[in-house]
């Protein structure tokens, strides 16, 4: 599983020119991934080794990656001056139109 995620990461970086920082994975694949680590309960180490945040979702039939931008100041909503993004407004954060 670790080598598969590494290959996904390489392909993601080649395609988008940036490293992925978010791994979507379902519970079954996560259990397989945990076996690669000496302390399977240490999520911090797992995420540090991968360089990604792990999101467990049963909607993730296959592991897939994403890149979420991190900013030091609130981003503005596209087309709405002076109105910062809501914490869960991922569509706007990813640049998708409303």
The pLDDT tens digits for 14-64 are 999 999 999 999 999 999 999 999 999 999 999 999 999 999 999 999 999
Total domains present in the chain: 1
**Do 1 and 32 touch, CB atoms closer than 8 A?**
yes
- For residue 3, the surrounding DSSP H or E stretch is helix 2-16
Domain membership of residue 16 as a residue range:
2-66
Examine residue 29 and state whether it is found in any structural domain, yes or no.
yes
pLDDT score for 88? 47
Examine residue 88 and state whether it is found in any structural domain, yes or no.
no
- Does the pTM exceed 0.75? no
DSSP code string of 29-94? HHHHHHTTSSSTT-HHHHHHHHTSEEEE-TT-SS-EEE-----SSPPEETTEEEEEPPTT-HHHHT
Backbone angles phi, psi at 38, to 5 degrees: -65, -35
């Amino acid at each position: 599983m670790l080598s598969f995620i590494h290959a996904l990461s390489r392909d993601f970086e080649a395609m988008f020119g940036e490293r992925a920082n978010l791994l979507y994975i379902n519970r079954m694949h996560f259990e397989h991934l945990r076996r690669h680590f000496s302390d399977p309960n240490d999520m911090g180490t797992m995420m540090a080794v991968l360089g990604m945040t792990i999101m467990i979702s049963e909607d993730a039939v296959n592991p897939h990656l994403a890149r979420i931008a991190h900013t030091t100041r609130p981003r503005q909503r596209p087309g709405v001056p002076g109105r910062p993004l809501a914490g869960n407004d991922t569509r706007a954060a990813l640049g998708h139109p409303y």
